[in-house]
Amino acid sequence: MNKFLRTLIPSDIAKGLAITGKHFCKVFFTANRRKVPFHIVSEYPEVVAKVQPRYRGRLTLLKDEQGEIKCVCCLACEKICPTQVITIEKGKKEGRKMPYPVRYDFEMERCIFCEFCVESCGFDSIILNHQFELATYNREDFSLGMEGLSQNMFEPSPVGKFSVADD
């Protein structure tokens, strides 16, 4: 008898519907009225995506206050990189005591964004910025160097329009 009643009255399904209904009402009746909305979807391309401060994005070379490249070619980053995507050519520059990177090549297509290079650098001369939209149409655009046409190692990537590229 009990079982028959349970089959007749779908209380389990009503229970489930109550949950979805509750959530629907919460979002529907407070739309545009609450400061912190109940819905959790971010309107990404319209609203710039914010990432956490430790986010690991694209490798970037840093310059000091005088505009000098901070890197001193100790090759620690080249050695530690698990995918061997960094190639550095050591050189000299007039009026600079430390070695100077003539070439600093970075093949982004194979980078796995592990931050080992930044960690190994004892001179704080590289960081991973906060960009995550790094896809391009041409394979050549992934080979970054100190001077590049569409993107280089100093500037934020021009393709990442909707992610923050600060610090």
Q: Which residues bind another protein (CB under 8 A)?
A: 10-13, 15-16, 18-20, 40, 51-56, 80, 82, 112-116, 119, 128
Q: How far apart are CA 66 and CA 139, in angstroms?
A: 34
CB of 52 to another protein, least distance (A): 4
Sole binder of ligand SF4 in the list 49, 98, 100, 115 (CB under 6 A): 115
CB 135 within 8 A of CB 127: no
10 Å Cβ neighbour count for 34?
12
Per-residue binder mask for ligand SF4 (CB under 6 A), 122-161, x = binder: -x-xx-----------------------------------
3-state secondary structure of 92: coil
Label each residue of 56-80 as H, E or C. CCCEEECECCCCCECCCCCCHHHHH
Instruction: Give the CA radius of gyration of the chain.
Output: 26
CB of 143 to another protein, least distance (A): 21
CB of 112 to another protein, least distance (A): 6
Binding site for ligand SF4 (CB under 6 A): 59, 71-77, 81-83, 85-86, 88, 111-117, 120-121, 123, 125-126
